[in-house]
Amino acid sequence: MHPASSLIKIYMEESNLTHGSLFSGIEGFGLGAAFAGIKTLWSCEYEDYQTSIIKKNFGEEHEINRDIRTYSKPPFVDIISGGFPCQDISVAGKGVGIIGERSGLWSEMYRIVREVRPKYVIIENSPALVISGFEQVLCDLSKIGYDAEWQCISNYAFGYPHKRERLYLLPTPTKSDYKATYANVEALTRYLNSGHQIRVSDILVQKGFLKSQRIALLEMMMGFPIAHTELEVSAMR
């Protein structure tokens, strides 16, 4: 069994909360959920390679929808996470904002949140969203009875050796009967703060750390376990 998938199965049985992710990538939010004992029921990812990584770590039977534009009424989950495309928002992009072709996919994420009505939503994007469509996101959420808190967080704050700031929003329903128990709040806090803490010095002293050096270092810097992005275990040897 692959080491990353083993970790996911070990941690998945600790909470009653469930999670679904949009714009899943290699399922970083799903990995954080697993570390917090939260089971990811479904993912949505367009790219082939990223989908292969999800299947490797979560199993071939894991539900993956390939196009958010055609994904409709997914099963209920307590938490929906997603980092909709930031290319039109980021300072490194075209700067057209949330109305752009790619960042405009926020409207699809909003639609799914409206359909599912989760207890919690976690949204990740470029800090530039604050001046490039933030009011649209907040207004859309308000229309369906969600309030939101947000904060700009740097990877450096979690001990990783680089500074990459991202904006995180945590919308929750304001017009519902949801009552978060202490256990649920604690689990969600662990989910948001989870990360596989590995120091650079720990990586460099590993035996056989040659071919996989660049991949492993990048995984470590982004907070993923070593070999999370490898499709074959042998590739790390």
Quick: pLDDT tens for 10-21: 444 567 899 999
Please provide residue 63's backbone torsions phi and psi, each rounded to the nearest 5 degrees: -75, 120
Shared domain for 202 and 188, answered yes or no, is no
Shared domain for 158 and 41, answered yes or no, is yes
* Residue 185, pLDDT score: 45
Would you call 86 a catalytic residue per the annotation?
yes
- Percent of the chain at pLDDT > 70 equals 66
**How many Å is the Cα radius of gyration of the chain?**
18
Shared domain for 142 and 222, answered yes or no, is no
Shared domain for 169 and 85, answered yes or no, is yes
Give the pTM: 0.72
Shared domain for 191 and 223, answered yes or no, is no
Of 195, 210, 225, which closes a domain?
195
Domains held by the chain: number: 2
Strands, sheet with 120-125, edge to edge from the N-terminal-most edge strand: 63-65, 39-44, 18-22, 79-82, 120-125, 165-173, 146-154
* Residue 180, pLDDT score: 40
Q: Residue 160: which CATH number?
A: 3.40.50.150
Shared domain for 11 and 72, answered yes or no, is yes
Query: If 0-12 CB within 10 Å is exposed, 13-18 middle and 19+ buried, where does residue 143 land?
Result: exposed
Angle (nearest 5°) at CA 54 between 16 and 23: 85
C-alpha distances in angstroms, 137 versus 113, 123, 208, 222?
12, 10, 47, 26
Shared domain for 201 and 176, answered yes or no, is no
Shared domain for 184 and 156, answered yes or no, is yes
Catalytic option among 44, 86, 139, 152: 86
* Residue 66, pLDDT score: 95
* Residue 155, pLDDT score: 79
Q: Are 80 and 118 in contact (CB under 8 A)?
A: yes
Shared domain for 25 and 93, answered yes or no, is yes
Mean pLDDT by 10 residues, the chain (237 residues): 50 76 95 91 96 94 95 95 89 75 93 96 91 88 91 80 85 64 46 43 38 55 65 44
How far is 146 from 152, CA to CA, in rounded Å?
A: 20
H helix or E strand, kind and range, residue 89: none
Shared domain for 135 and 87, answered yes or no, is yes
* pLDDT tens by residue, 155-199: 777 777 777 888 899 999 985 544 443 344 445 455 445 543 333
Shared domain for 218 and 181, answered yes or no, is no
Angle (nearest 5°) at CA 50 between 93 and 197: 85
* Residue 52, pLDDT score: 95
- Percent of the chain at pLDDT > 90 equals 42
Q: Determine the structural domain holding residue 224 and report its residue range.
A: 196-237
Shared domain for 217 and 119, answered yes or no, is no
